[in-house]
Structures are given as C-alpha cells and as structure tokens.
Structure 1
C-alpha cells in the first residue's frame, strides 16, 4: 500500500487536493483530524490538545489505509503537528517526533502558498505562510523525504500531483531486476 501525505501551511488546498486525488485514484483519504477536533472543542488549543490531535491523525490514517486500494492520501501529517507545537509552545512531544521518524510515506506533496488565503475561524496565520512553507521545506529536506513541491492553480496542482503519484505507482509495479550472473 502506497502512502502519500499532503503537507504545508494553512489554506494551501491540502483538503481539496486530497479529496481530488482519492477520487481520481478511486481510493481513500484520511481527513485532517485537527479540524474535527477543533470544531468540537473550540479553536483555542494546548500542547495536550495537539497530542490528542496527533493520535487522532494517526488513527485516521490507519482507517484510510485499511480501506484503500493501491494508494491512499493523508490530508496533513504529523509534521504539521510538530511545526505547530514548536511554533505555539516552543516544544513538541517526544513521541510525535519519534513517530515522525518511524512513519513512512512513499511520497510527500508540499503545497505552495500562491493560492489565495481563505479565512476560517480555525486558521491563524494568514501573513506567515511563506515562513511556514520554508520550515516544511527544511524539515522535509533534512529528513531526506521523497517529496515534491506542488504549486500553481488548483488544476495545475492536481495535474502535478497525479504526475508524481503515477510515477510512484509505475515504479511500484515495475518488476524487480533479475540478478546478473558474475
């Protein structure tokens, strides 16, 4: 099962693109658990809330994986929790950092900030998207993650994402090379 995560700053189209990709590939996607949690508990959050959100995100990914075909998509990942925890509280729970090192995504799509900001009571930083984008880029680069930057219009984003996912699926379906005789 191939796992593809979408990550990046607020209001960059992660949810929309996750849905579109799941529909295109006729599979499942794990919604961003933070939205569900904060809609239920209110927009103010603590470090403890972020831990609950992280556990909920992991559970959402596991549920999506159980129903998926070939590939599934994660509308956000624990890297988002790490970045928010460090920004808001100056620290991130150790288990979240450990889980980030353990979890494996076959591909991470880092969404750019050029689409317009959409106001939402759960969004906090309309003027810091480039700052956060840089943090995500640095984190993914330092983890040596297989990631691709996605930008442009919503249609261009879908086309770029499909290009990378198609390449990933083709690679997975390629037969292993036969051993060569020495």
Structure 2
C-alpha cells in the first residue's frame, strides 16, 4: 500500500468512527462489557493516542535522525512484524495487556474530544504524507512487537492499527445492542 492509499483508507476509518459516535450516547460510549475490557470510547482514545504519540512520533524520530544516529539495514523487523507488513494488516487476534495507567486508555470526556483527536491524526498524516518517501529506509526505530520499523512502516502502521481495531469496535457495538458476538 502506498502512503496515499493508506491515508485514504484511514480517512474512511475515521469517517466510520465519526458516524458511530452519532449512534451512541456518552454513557454507551463509555460502557465496558467487563472490568477487564475497554469501552468503545477507550478504543477510540487508544487509536488517537497510539497514532499521535507513538506511530507518528516515530516517523518524526526517523525523519530527524542524523547520519551517525541512524540505524542500518541490520536492524530488522521481528517475524511477527514481517508477517504483518507482508499481509498489509495486523492479524485479527485479541491482544491482552495488563490493566495499568501505562496501557489502559482513559475514557473520552466528550464526543467532541474523539472527533478532535481523529481530526488531529488525519491532519498529521496529511502533513507527513508528502515527505514520507524521502526519509531514508535505514532510519529505523524499535516497535515493541514488530521490531525495527522505518518511517514508511510507522506511517502505514497507523491505518493498519485502525483497521485491526475495527473488529473490536464491531464487537463492542454488538455488546451495546445486546447481541453478544463470539468473534474477536
């Protein structure tokens, strides 16, 4: 997928999120299926925060590397990372992380906070798209599960991550409608 295709796909995902917001009250958006699971609002906040403060921040780190600080072609993706990027998507598996302030996203304060966050992600993606291809491939930073990623890979990961959580959003929508799902 090219950066432009990734951006178009992300725009579609954000459009779906904004439409979802119209379907639910704030009470519903913040309702959790269980104490261990996230609400729809927490999923939205996770997507926003991951994109702005991890994925796109790493694009900037790769862009700003000096020649001396840059990684090299020896720094590779993990098997899991290679498989995800070869497929162009993150596998549809449920990832459990320990409940903690570090991992658990906050509930949104309002629907407007979600919309503004999603718009901020799109703005940043639009700003970076024209320069992403010019960032050297060997400028890489470490992803905790996927290994060393280039700026291009970090950029593409934003859309991959949004698409990965679409299944979770669907499961949460079924929970809110009172129709439990056995999938994802």
Q: Same fold (TM over 0.5)?
A: no
Q: Which has the higher contact order (CA 8 A, sep 6+)?
A: 2
More strand by share: 1
